[in-house]
């Protein structure tokens, strides 16, 4: 066996919330001197899920200074900081990840980090910062995953014209791409529907994603479960609190899929008993849209 086999085992166990099995696979590989950056990143994710701060720091230290490796762990640190609402720290780590990827001549990777940071800023209500990150991403690359993240960030930040243009381009270029049609475009169109004050249309846009919503569309947790989060927001906008709570709880129950992505923390904040009350939700969709700001400054 080689390190890729063990990494695949760990990567398969994680989305199933089988944390002990995932860690055992990674540890067995290291014990057999089958080290790799993928294995180490899985160990970082596992440490996060176990609230093991020193374990995360150990993997970040291992990656430090390694071209083409360090950037992924800095990106992981950015996601972890954002998960706890520490946006200033998240921005610092994001910039460091982009710089590190640039030094390794990984422009596409650097662009995806920028676009992913744009999604994070949009989720926290920072529209101007999200738009700025989208511009920086396109200065580096025009790849599929980066373009989706840019479209999603634009849609959440209510930059509707840009989101529609990017989504239309993806649909035209990749008409048979399962990830694009089963995850990316439904999420973008749902947010556009929400901003048009059409929650029913948003839910309809997400219908095609229901068969794929627990899939990992990318090699890391990035972009996973975004259709589920958008569906929860659509139910909220339609004053269907109990249905919204069910969607957010899906994310809470699948921490091995979302790991340290910001929607994990945001979904946890929404999946409270107050959303399950019958009748009209006590707050308007406009008020709800700003709620993620309440996470800013949270600590573990």
- The answer to whether 196 and 163 have CB atoms below 8 angstroms apart is no
Mean per-residue pLDDT of the chain = 88
Residues of the chain with pLDDT under 70: 1, 218-221, 272-300
The residues, any chain, with a CB within 8 Å of residue 9's CB and separated by 6 or more, are 21, 22, 25
| Per-residue pLDDT tens digits for 109-159 | 999 999 999 999 999 999 999 999 999 999 998 889 899 999 999 999 999
Euclidean distance between CA atoms 131 and 122, whole angstroms:
8
**224 token code pair:** 């996973």
Beta strand spans in 73-165 (E): none
What is residue 31's predicted lDDT score, i.e. its pLDDT? Answer: 87
Q: What residue ranges do the domains of the chain occupy?
A: 1-63, 64-295
- The answer to whether 74 and 59 have CB atoms below 8 angstroms apart is no
Same CATH fold assignment for domains 1-63 and 64-295: yes
Handedness of CA 118, 82, 284, 128 (dihedral sign): negative
What is residue 224's predicted lDDT score, i.e. its pLDDT? Answer: 86
Euclidean distance between CA atoms 87 and 110, whole angstroms:
19
CB atoms within 10 A of CB 176: 6
What is residue 293's predicted lDDT score, i.e. its pLDDT? Answer: 41
| pTM for the full predicted model | 0.88
What is residue 219's predicted lDDT score, i.e. its pLDDT? Answer: 57
CATH number at 64-295: 1.25.40
- CB burial of 111-133 (b: ≥16 within 10 Å; e: otherwise) equals bbbbbbbbbbbbbbbbbebbbeb
Q: Given 1.25.40, 1.10.3470, 2.60.40, 1.10.10, which CATH number is that of 1-63?
A: 1.25.40
What is residue 71's predicted lDDT score, i.e. its pLDDT? Answer: 97
| Per-residue pLDDT tens digits for 180-204 | 999 999 999 999 999 999 999 999 9
């Amino acid at each position: 066996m080689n390190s890729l086999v063990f990494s695949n085992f760990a990567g398969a166990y994680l989305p199933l919330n089988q944390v002990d099995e995932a860690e055992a696979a990674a540890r067995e590989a290291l014990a057999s001197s089958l080290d790799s950056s993928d294995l180490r990143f899985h160990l970082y994710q596992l440490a996060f899920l176990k609230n093991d701060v020193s374990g995360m720091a150990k993997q970040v230290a291992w990656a430090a200074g390694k071209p083409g490796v360090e950037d992924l762990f800095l990106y992981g640190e950015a996601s972890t900081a954002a998960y706890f609402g520490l946006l200033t720290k998240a921005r610092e780590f994001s910039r460091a990840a982009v710089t590190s990827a640039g030094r390794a001549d990984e422009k596409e990777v650097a662009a995806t980090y920028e676009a992913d940071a744009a999604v994070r800023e949009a989720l926290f209500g920072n529209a101007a910062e999200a738009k700025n990150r989208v511009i920086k991403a396109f200065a580096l690359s025009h790849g599929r995953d980066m373009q989706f993240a840019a479209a999603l960030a634009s849609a959440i930040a209510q930059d509707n014209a840009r989101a529609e243009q990017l989504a239309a381009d993806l649909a035209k270029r990749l008409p048979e791409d399962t990830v694009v049609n089963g995850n990316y475009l439904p999420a973008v169109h749902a947010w556009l529907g929400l901003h048009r004050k059409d929650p029913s249309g948003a839910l309809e846009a997400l219908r095609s994603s229901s068969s794929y919503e627990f899939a990992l569309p990318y090699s890391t947790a990035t972009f996973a479960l975004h259709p589920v989060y958008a569906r929860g927001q659509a139910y909220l906008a339609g004053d269907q609190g109990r249905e919204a709570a069910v969607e957010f709880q899906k994310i809470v129950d699948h921490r091995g899929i979302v790991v340290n992505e910001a929607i994990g923390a945001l979904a946890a904040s929404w999946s409270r008993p107050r959303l399950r009350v019958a009748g009209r939700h006590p707050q308007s969709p406009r008020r709800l849209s700003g709620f993620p700001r309440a996470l800013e400054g949270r600590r573990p």
